[in-house]
Amino acid sequence: MRSMKLQTNPEDDPKPGYDTLPTPCTLFPALSSLLSSPCSMLPAPCSMHLNNKTFMTFLDYIIMILFALVIIIAGVSFVRSGRNMKSFFAGGGAVPWGISGLSLFMSFFSAGTFVVWGSIAYELGWVAVTIQWTMCVGGFVVGFLLAPRWKQTGILTVAEFLTRRFNLSTQKFYTYLFLFVSLFTSGNFLYPVAKIVSVSTGFSLTWIIIILGASIILYTTAGGLWAVLITDVLQFVVLLSSVLIVIPLAFEYGGGFHHIFQKAPEQFYNLFSEEYSPWFMLAFFIYNIIFIGGNWAYVQRFTSIRDPKSARKTGFLFGTLYIFSPVIWMIPPMIYGIVKPNLTGLETEGAYMLICKQVLPAGILGLMLASMVFATASSVNTTLNMSAAVITNDLYKTRKPDSSERETMNFARIATVIFGMGAVTVALMVPAMGGIVETVLSIAAITGVPMLAPPIWALFSKRLTGKIIIWITILSLCINLIFKFVTPFMLDFTLTRGEEMAVGILVPIGLLTLFEIYSALKRQISTQYLFYEQQFLKVPVEEHDEGVKIADQNIFAIRILGVAVSIIGMMMVVLGLITEQGKGLVISFGGIILMVGFLLIVYSLRRKNF
Q: Tell me what the mean pLDDT of segment 484-504 comes to.
A: 81
Is residue 374 assigned to a domain?
A: yes
Distances (CA, A) of 364 to 67, 199, 368, 445, 573: 11, 18, 6, 35, 11
Is residue 479 assigned to a domain?
A: no
Give the amino acid at 338.
Answer: I
Domain hosting residue 264, numbered range = 28-446+541-609
Q: Residue 168 is part of a domain; what is its CATH number?
A: 1.20.1730.10
Question: How far apart are the C-alpha atoms of 464 and 73, rounded to whole Å?
Answer: 46
pLDDT at residue number 43: 35
Is residue 460 assigned to a domain?
A: no
Q: Which residues contact 578 (CB under 8 A, 6 or more apart)?
A: 363
> At what angle are helices 583-609 and 544-578 packed, to 10 degrees?
160
- Straight-line distance from the first to the last Cα atom of the chain, in angstroms, rounded to the nearest whole number: 61
Question: How far apart are the C-alpha atoms of 105 and 100, rounded to whole Å?
Answer: 9
Task: Please indicate whether residue 578 or residue 25 has the higher confidence score (pLDDT).
Answer: 578
Is residue 507 assigned to a domain?
A: no
Q: Tell me what the mean pLDDT of segment 98-116 comes to.
A: 82
pLDDT band at 5 (very low <50, low <70, confident <90, very high): very low
Please state the φ and ψ torsions of residue 305, each to the nearest 5 degrees.
-100, 180
Question: How far apart are the C-alpha atoms of 559 and 553, rounded to whole Å?
Answer: 10
Question: How far apart are the C-alpha atoms of 237 and 257, rounded to whole Å?
Answer: 26
Average pLDDT, the chain: 82
Least confident of 322-331, 336-345, 366-375: 366-375
Question: How far apart are the C-alpha atoms of 291 and 297, rounded to whole Å?
Answer: 10
Burial class (CB in 10 A: 0-12, 13-18, 19+), 88: buried
Burial class (CB in 10 A: 0-12, 13-18, 19+), 22: buried
Q: Tell me what the mean pLDDT of segment 288-296 comes to.
A: 93
Is residue 21 assigned to a domain?
A: no
- In sequence order, what DSSP letters do the residues of 501-570 get, joined into one string? HHHHHHHHHHHHHHHHHHHHHHT---HHHHHHHHHT-SPPPPPHHHHHHHHHHHHHHHHHHHHHHHHHHH
Question: How far apart are the C-alpha atoms of 497 and 478, rounded to whole Å?
Answer: 18
Q: Tell me what the mean pLDDT of segment 459-468 comes to.
A: 96
pLDDT tens sequence across 528-584: 999 999 888 754 544 444 555 667 788 889 999 999 999 999 999 999 998 877 888
pLDDT at residue number 30: 34
Burial letters for 91-116: b for 16+ Cβ neighbours within 10 Å, e otherwise?
A: bbbbbbbebbbbbbbbbbbbbbbbbb
pLDDT at residue number 35: 35
Burial letters for 23-43: b for 16+ Cβ neighbours within 10 Å, e otherwise?
A: bbbbebbbbbbbbbbbbbbbe
Give the Cβ contact number of residue 206 at 10 Å: 13
Q: Is the dihedral angle over the CA atoms 176, 180, 185, 190 positive or is it negative? A: positive
Contact 353, 269 (CB under 8 A): no
Helix, strand and coil percent figures for the chain, each rounded to 5: 75, 0, 25
pLDDT band at 130 (very low <50, low <70, confident <90, very high): very high
Name the 3-class secondary structure at 23.
coil
pLDDT tens sequence across 158-179: 999 999 999 999 999 999 999 9
pLDDT band at 514 (very low <50, low <70, confident <90, very high): very high
Is residue 13 assigned to a domain?
A: no
Domain total in the chain: 1
Question: How far apart are the C-alpha atoms of 323 and 327, rounded to whole Å?
Answer: 8
Q: Which residues contact 486 (CB under 8 A, 6 or more apart)?
A: none
pLDDT tens sequence across 383-410: 898 899 999 988 898 888 888 888 888 8
Please compute, for residue 49, the number of CA atoms within 13 A of its CA located in the half-sphere on the CB side: 2
Is residue 532 assigned to a domain?
A: no
Task: Please indicate whether residue 380 or residue 41 has the higher confidence score (pLDDT).
Answer: 380
Q: Tell me what the mean pLDDT of segment 473-488 comes to.
A: 89
Is residue 409 assigned to a domain?
A: yes
Task: Please indicate whether residue 448 or residue 193 has the higher confidence score (pLDDT).
Answer: 448
Residue 20 clears pLDDT 80, i.e. is over it = no
Least confident of 71-85, 96-110, 238-252, 280-294: 71-85
Give percent above pLDDT 90 in the chain.
42
pLDDT at residue number 443: 58
Task: Please indicate whether residue 356 or residue 33 has the higher confidence score (pLDDT).
Answer: 356
Question: How far apart are the C-alpha atoms of 369 and 310, rounded to whole Å?
Answer: 33
Give the alpha-carbon dihedral of 408, 412, 417, 420, to 10 degrees.
150
pLDDT at residue number 190: 82
pTM for the predicted model, two decimal places: 0.84
pLDDT at residue number 548: 54
Contact 335, 32 (CB under 8 A): no
- In sequence order, what DSSP letters do the residues of 289-303 get, joined into one string? HHHHHH-HHHHHHHH
